[in-house]
Amino acid sequence: MNRIFPIHAGFAVLLAVLLTACSSLPSKPQSPRVSLAGLSLVSMDLFEQRYRVRLRIKNPNSFALPVQGIDFHLNINGEDFADGVGNQSVTIPAYGEKVVALEVSSNLLQVLRQLRMLEGRQLGGFEYRITGNIASGRHGWRLPFDFTGHLEAPGGADDQQAKSVADRRILIHKNCG
């Protein structure tokens, strides 16, 4: 009986050490929210177009989120438009956000599909969906994201309304001054 007690005591100590070690490991973070902050043409040739995409990454976690890389796909108006990867390291603060600029590529077929879809449509913006994964932390977490949004095209209804307000301000200033 005296031999069994040291074995049980040793096992209990080992179990306590393992449980303490496991509890100190960070839990997997919540996936960040990623949205499109901007899109601009960088270069264009017959077979490939390069765009600068600005992504807004929001961290919903109570701790800073180190980002080592990102891969994503961008759909516009329900059609594949571009995809890209980036290895830019950035740390998103707890409950904070950062904008990251990446270059993506698109091919002629994808651009022609977009032009065909826009044919006959009122210029009022576009729907987009951005999906992908963010590589984070030294544990190599792959955090998926999927976001759908709407962007107004320049010259759309919001721009006309803003221009109208600006025109009224100019008239008021001229009449009062």
Residue 121, in any domain of the structure = yes
Residue 171, in any domain of the structure = no
Residue 111, in any domain of the structure = yes
Domain total in the chain:
1
Q: What is the CATH number of the domain that holds 59?
A: 2.60.40.1820
- Beta-ladder partners of 40: 52
Each residue's pLDDT, cut to its tens digit, for the chain (177 residues) gives 555 556 666 666 655 655 554 444 457 789 999 999 998 989 988 888 899 999 999 999 999 999 999 999 999 888 888 899 999 899 999 999 999 999 998 887 777 777 776 665 655 678 899 999 999 987 778 999 999 998 776 655 444 444 443 343 333 333 444
pTM of the shown model: 0.67
**Token couple for 128:** 């987009």
- Which domain range does residue 102 map to? 33-163
Q: Quote the CA–CA distance of 39 and 111 in Å, as a whole number.
A: 14
